[in-house]
A and B are shown apart, each in its own frame.
Chain A
Amino acid sequence: MIMRILVCIKEIQNPEVASSVFRVDEVRNEVIPLEGLPLVTSPFDEQAIEAALRFRDKQPCQITVMTFGPDSAKAAIKRALSMGADDGIHILSTGMEQADSVTTARVLVQAIQKEESFDLILTGRQAADGDSGIVGCGLAQLLNIPIVTFAKGVELDGSTLCVERVLDDGAEIIEVPMPCVVTVSNELGEPRKASLKETMRAGKKPTKVHTVEALGISPSSLSTQSQRQVRTRLYVPTKDVQCDLIAAVSAEEMAKQVISKLIASKLI
């Protein structure tokens, strides 16, 4: 029986968008999507896919990728299949576009429970849009399995799953009983590019598509439940900083002016 790994991913607006062009609709409390800029897979989720692939570099396993998102999110599944995942599961979020993290976790769990059980569930430590870091933990609690967050490495040591976890001031190695959830942090490193071979095979890899109704969820029931915390405002903080640019020629003079300004502002 080979190991079954599930990677949960999210398609988002490109987080590398420059602050200068990032805009928010403060009436609808939504980000204004940038025309022409393609959506991407949240970078931490790409690293979660990479973690699964590095696992497979060492021992055979089946890698399934799952997403809860609109129709456009099928591109994220395709990209994951092109990196090397074996099959995909796409839960359409039609009617639930405003679903928050906890709701997302509940939906994913419904789909997960329809599948043969996974030994390891990987996901990014947070989505690079919401930055909440809730879904991974939610999956673990709802599935009643252990979780380890902020992984920079996931390996099998014999039959023990070992996770190297990033701490605020160091690292720890955790032995985790499976099945379990592991969230991946950027310290894992660069995800691999889609190879030509895997991209060409991706077209033939199966992807299941579910509606939430087919999973036994009625959007209206979950949207009420979504109201545990409600966004009342979304805004871009104005920068009211006027930069005092020092104009001097020599480094000595620059240093002198910097220090005198710092002292005058009581900053040192």
Chain B
Amino acid sequence: MARPELEGEWVQGWPDRARARVMPSKDADGRTIYARTPLLELEGLITPTDAFYIVCQLNAAEPIYPEDYSLAIKGLVAKPLELSLEEIKRLPSKTVRTVMECAGDDGEFFHWQKKGGQKPSRLKKQKEQGGWNQMGGDAKGKPKIEDVLDAVPTTCLVSGGEWTGTPLVEVLKMAGIKAGVQSVYFVGHDQGRPDPTPQYAATGRTDIEIYDPGVINYDKALPLAKALDPDTLLCWAQNGEHLQHIHGAPLRLVVPGWSGNWSVKWLKEIHLLDHTPECYYQNHYFVHGASPDDPNKRPCMELGCKSIILGPIDEDSPLPRGTHLVKGLAWSGAGAIRKVEVSVDAGKTWKEARLEDHGDRWLWRRWSYVWEVDKAGKYTVMARATDEADRLQPQTPWNYQTKHFDGIVPVDVEIV
């Protein structure tokens, strides 16, 4: 498919480009429950809220009126607390700009690297009705993998956001952290029975045993060190406005550098524990392992080191000889990106790209490379990133759940 024609719309009474909006999947009542960011339509660093990706593993929580909201802090604390939103907002607060990326983002590229076939395209739009929540169902439902991937492409599950809130450590200090705490355990208001379908799609197999915990609340147990990071926030605002319901209102966790499943929405309770409890979404799903039976499976945590090319894309070919801008975004789970390099000869030689310098450690960086090409032919264009911890892309080996894909995906360009 070639790039679609630019759409227009009326914005504030004026004729304009169509605003970039998510590619949504909706439930029978027309509510968005899954959404992908139209990366190719965006420019800049902050993904507008209406274009921000959405993944709900369980059923989205019922809306909570801000004045009715209460957050419980329990466990190994000097003083258990029940905090209202007002009280949380009175704590010192700050704004952190960070990439948020779903652990499953681009997971289908792992399948493509192993098996070949059609290269996944970021242009692909899924149908609005019929997300994976409506496909697999119970522990016995076994839909066709191709059908699921068609309904829920895994590309474009990454966005750049600006989050305003109080550092988690402020709330923990208020409660008083006792000795011996190993993990900070979060429970969300969202509830449901985990659907095995995403795991069938992620693994590309329907023959694996998937643990069924029954109906659970979404929960994650964050290691203490990351919980105490000053950039780990309890947020009430996103991109300059109060959190929207679907993004976890009125209060959510934001864990920069770690995959999106750690940023628990619709926060209900926080427990300080002397151990790390078993949680479905870090012990049974969102795990790194060589196979389902790998005894050394570990939870997905920090993202890899990643760059993506947003221009040109395969579908732009053929392109005329002359000057072209190779451009994209780069980010890392370890912090800031230090360098991006571009190759137009399938990785034989690399040139350093221009890298945007901004002060936000966790936010992706825009990079670009001016490519002068005067000879017709087929070119393989690649990009690779290096981060502040000197890790070179890619960092994530193939894993059976196809999580944290940060591989180098070449763009095939034909110059005529």
Interface residues of A, Cβ cutoff 8 Å to B? 16-20, 75, 78-79, 82, 193-203, 251
Contact = CB atoms under 8 A, between A and B. Distances in A.
B30 A194 contact: no
Contact of A203 (B7, B15, B17, B29): B15
A173 B138 CA distance: 47
8 contacts: A17-B30, A18-B30, A195-B5, A196-B18, A197-B8, A199-B8, A199-B9, A202-B15
Given A196-B7, A199-B9, A20 B15 contact: no
B215 interface: no
Given A196-B18, A197-B8, 17 more contacts: A16-B30, A20-B29, A75-B10, A79-B10, A82-B15, A194-B7, A194-B8, A195-B7, A195-B8, A196-B6, A196-B17, A199-B9, A199-B10, A200-B15, A200-B16, A202-B15, A203-B15
Given A194-B8, A195-B6, A197-B8, A203 B31 contact: no
Contacts of B8: 82, 194-200, 202
Contacts of A196: 5-8, 17-18
Contacts of B29: 18-20
A78 B18 contact: no
Interface in B130-159: 140
Contact of B18 (A17, A18, A194): A194
- Counting chain B residues whose Cβ lies within 8 A of the other chain, the interface size class is 10 to 19
A228 B141 CA distance: 55
Nearest to A199: B8
Contacts of B16: 199-200
List of 4 A-B pairs having minimum Cβ-Cβ separation, nearest first: A199-B8, A18-B29, A196-B6, A196-B8
A19 to B, nearest CB: 8
B14 interface: yes
A63 B191 CA distance: 52
A207 to B, nearest CB: 13
A77 to B, nearest CB: 11
Name which of A16, A198, A200 has the most chain B CB atoms within 10 A of its CB. Answer: A200
Contacts of A198: 8
Contacts of B14: 203
Interface in B204-256: none
Nearest to B14: A203
Contact of A82 (B10, B30, B31, B140): B10
Given A200-B15, A203-B15, A82 B6 contact: no
A49 to B, nearest CB: 15
Nearest to B10: A78
Contacts of B140: 251
A225 B31 CA distance: 42
A83 B7 CA distance: 10
Contacts of B17: 196
A198 B29 CA distance: 32
A193 B10 contact: no
B6 A18 contact: no
A18 B31 contact: yes
Interface in B1-51: 5-10, 14-18, 29-31
A259 B124 CA distance: 43
Nearest to A82: B8
Nearest to A83: B8
Contacts of A82: 8-10, 15
A195 B17 CA distance: 9
B138 to A, nearest CB: 9
Contacts of A79: 10
A35 to B, nearest CB: 15
A194 to B, nearest CB: 5
Contacts of A203: 14-15
B258 to A, nearest CB: 34
A78 B5 CA distance: 19
Nearest to A14: B30
A46 B34 CA distance: 27
A184 B51 CA distance: 33
B9 to A, nearest CB: 6
A200 B6 CA distance: 11
B302 to A, nearest CB: 39
Interface string B338-359: 0000000000000000000000
Nearest to A16: B30
Nearest to A75: B10
